[in-house]
Amino acid sequence: MKRLKLLLFLLLAGSINLLFAQGWYVYDGSAIPNDLNGWITSSEAPGPNFVETVVDDPEVFGNKYLQYLSADVTSKKYYRHKFTGTSTAITVVARMKGVLIDTLSGEYAFQIETANGVVRSVLDIVTDGNLLKEEKGDAADTVLQADLSQWQVYRITLDGDSVNVYLNEGINPVMAGYGSAVSDNHLRFGDAGSARVAGCVDWCVIDTTGAYAPGTGTAIPDSLTTPAWYVYDGTAIPNDLNGWITSSDAPGTNFVESVVDDVELSGNQYLKYLSVDVESKKYYRHKFTGTSTAITVVARMKGIPIDTLSGEYAFQIETANGVVRSVLDIVTDENMLKEEKGNAADVVLEADLSEWQIYRITLDGNLVNVYLNEIENPVMTGLGSAVSDNHLRFGDAGSARVAGCVDWCVIDTTGAYAPGTGAVIPESLSLAFGPSDYVFVSSIELSALTTAIEINETTQVSETITPWDANDKTVSWSTSDANIATVDATGLVTGVAAGTATITATANDGSGVTGTIDITVRTLVTGIQLDALVTTIDMNATTQVSETVTPWEATDKTVTWSTSDANIATVSSSGLVTGVSGGTATITATANDGSGISGTIDITVEPTAIHTESASVPVKVYPNPFASRVNFTITLIRDENVSIAISDVSGKIISVSTHQLKFGENTISITSDDMYPGLYFYTIKGQEILNTGRLLKIE
């Protein structure tokens, strides 16, 4: 079922390895070019020292490529494909690398010749100088900042007599010029004129519909692009013929290895191995080239518990980046990860390691991270132990026995990539893990009895898990700042110091799902003292009341203002008091932190007389406005009978009362039970009209 590379060339009796695909004419390196599969080889005998073969790619499992070598100039050969049509604009793209043979003198090169019926471009790739030379054309020699003994992608475009050469699909050409005259259309590689040739061809494609720079024209078939991963797909036992080195120790009579048909995934196969005793052990090791110290290994594996045999059972993955190595023991019967070479603590997982799991191991310098089932948070982190080479190894398990299954394993030497980053794992590889009926947590919602507590006070946080039928609904609790609030294994939070801490519950099933809630630890107000600029004001005058809150470190020092009688004095949200009518009102500031603490101050409002048409004697009327009773204070210069008449706005008399007053100050109170709220007029009359004015009755 799994292939790293989809071969576009269906081999019929070994003769067909060229076909037209997606606008391209394709050679895929899986067979030697000859006149039976669309190629013409040189008429010159290649000589006894020309070697050509199809090679199994040791770096990319399942891939093949053509390798050819001439040890002397007379032992040379070219491969030529002639194509039809009259187009003078063509594109050739090839993945090739040179072969260095230092023991032989002279220049080593491999060559691509492209012709469009107008001109030809003969491009020499000189491996030991990383040099491009246009043998037939006018372009200057170019020394590249690339190792031409490694795989490179060359794109050559001919548009009339104009030639451009691009490297590794970069948008700018590394060479540009004009070709030399020619009369036919063809592609040729090999030969190299007076030099010897030594090269490898993974694939080569031709498009005769136009001269296309990188990123334009028809896309190169996905099956031909260079994979980011080195892939072992479990369809063959690893050995020295497919890029692996097995241990030199004899595996013993009790070591069993086989490729198994997968009963769960139709068409899939995987490697199964088992050592019944420590002496019957074996490892599979792949050494990879390069100097990168940041690498990624991803593998789909499962352990095999054998309860009838005593002792620890484990399978093992060893990863090395030339700086450190991480030897990860997967102990199946304990669901445990142990880093044998490194400093990470043992980790017991909630996952069943006898079921398929996906392990991702990243090495970045000496830092090692292990991820399970592509969850973004690592299940293990630590530092590796020193090593001097780059390799991947599984099997062995040191002093323990091994029993495991490997569906596939991939290596990326371009970086240390956490799940969701870096190259995507090839679609042909199964990403299934764990038992098929295992239900993971999808969300966690947290709630608390209260989210605001005092120092040394507690609150219980509880979790709601979705879905309800998740296999493992347990969580682990943590706090963002234990100096503010701590949390125990049951979710009980205790206040430590003023501030806010985030409490997190993390699912224990390896899903990486979390839920959070903020808990505020506060210092409550213990006292409020009020002060005012003045405590006695006239009607319509104001005074500012200010508060002093203790302690100074109280978390919430805001207050809410109120008045005992808004008919006498009102107070704003900032503590500004306004006199309304004569009397005394108590102004209160109450703490907003729930402590119940408040402070008070009394404000007295002096009544103000209203004088209008006549003021023959001093009269004070208060309160005015009034609700149920109004007072008249009249100062006379003699004893006198005085009447007080009250009328409405239409002039209708509402009430009249007569009073025998004495010399000096007299106060008369009149109730307003029969008066509706509104504007009224009063007249105070003795031997003459003494005073008149307005009254305002309120609710």
DSSP string, 136-155: EBSPPPEE-SS-TTS-EEEE
Q: Per-residue confidence at 476, pLDDT binned at 50, 70, 90?
A: very high
- Pick from 28, 201, 27: nearest CA to 99: 201
Average pLDDT over residues 20-37: 74
Domain 619-697 has CATH 3.30.460.10: no
Q: Are the C-beta atoms of residues 582 and 623 closer than 8 Å to each other?
A: yes
Mean pLDDT of the residues in the chain = 81
Distance of CA 67 to the CA centre of its chain: 44
Q: Identify which has the larger pLDDT, 259 or 21.
A: 259
Please state which of the four CATH numbers 1.10.4000.10, 3.30.590.10, 2.60.120.260, 2.60.120.200 is assigned to the domain occupying 1-207.
Answer: 2.60.120.200
Tokens of 416: 């240390």
- Pick from 395, 385, 374, 168: nearest CA to 280: 395
Q: Could you give the strand order of the β-sheet that contains 619-622, starting from the edge strand earlier in sequence? A: 619-622, 629-636, 664-671
- Pick from 525, 413, 424, 511: nearest CA to 470: 511
- Pick from 522, 500, 498, 528: nearest CA to 596: 528
Please tell me the least confidently modeled range out of 153-167, 179-193, 428-442, 619-633. Answer: 428-442
Rounded Cα–Cα distance for residues 175 and 370 (Å): 45
Q: Are the C-beta atoms of residues 63 and 4 closer than 8 Å to each other?
A: yes
Q: Identify which has the larger pLDDT, 617 or 358.
A: 358
**Residues 364-401 pLDDT 10s:** 888 989 998 888 889 999 888 887 777 788 877 666 77
Tokens of 216: 């334009």
Please tell me the least confidently modeled range out of 244-258, 417-431, 478-492, 519-533. Answer: 244-258
Using omega within 30 degrees of 0 as the cis cutoff, is the peptide bond preceding 551 cis? yes
**Residues 636-687 pLDDT 10s:** 888 888 999 998 877 788 889 999 999 889 999 999 888 888 888 888 888 7
Sign of the alpha-carbon dihedral angle for 420, 425, 428, 434: negative
Q: Per-residue confidence at 56, pLDDT binned at 50, 70, 90?
A: confident
Rounded Cα–Cα distance for residues 673 and 629 (Å): 8
Residue labelled with tokens 């519950």: 505
Rounded Cα–Cα distance for residues 305 and 274 (Å): 10
End-to-end CA distance of the chain: 90
CATH class of the domain defined by 229-428 = mainly beta
Domain 527-606 has CATH 2.60.40.1080: yes
**Residues 174-192 pLDDT 10s:** 889 888 888 778 888 877 6
Rounded Cα–Cα distance for residues 659 and 388 (Å): 118
- Pick from 590, 584, 668, 583: nearest CA to 630: 668
Rounded Cα–Cα distance for residues 685 and 653 (Å): 14
Domain 443-522 has CATH 2.40.280.10: no
Contacts for 142 with CB less than 8 Å, ≥ 6 apart: 131, 132, 174, 175
Rounded Cα–Cα distance for residues 79 and 75 (Å): 14
Dihedral, CA atoms, 377, 383, 384, 389, nearest 10 degrees? 90
What pLDDT is stored for residue 21 in this prediction? 42
Same fold, 443-522 and 619-697: yes
Residue labelled with tokens 């040890």: 71
Q: Domain-by-domain residue ranges, the chain?
A: 1-207, 229-428, 443-522, 527-606, 619-697
What pLDDT is stored for residue 42 in this prediction? 61
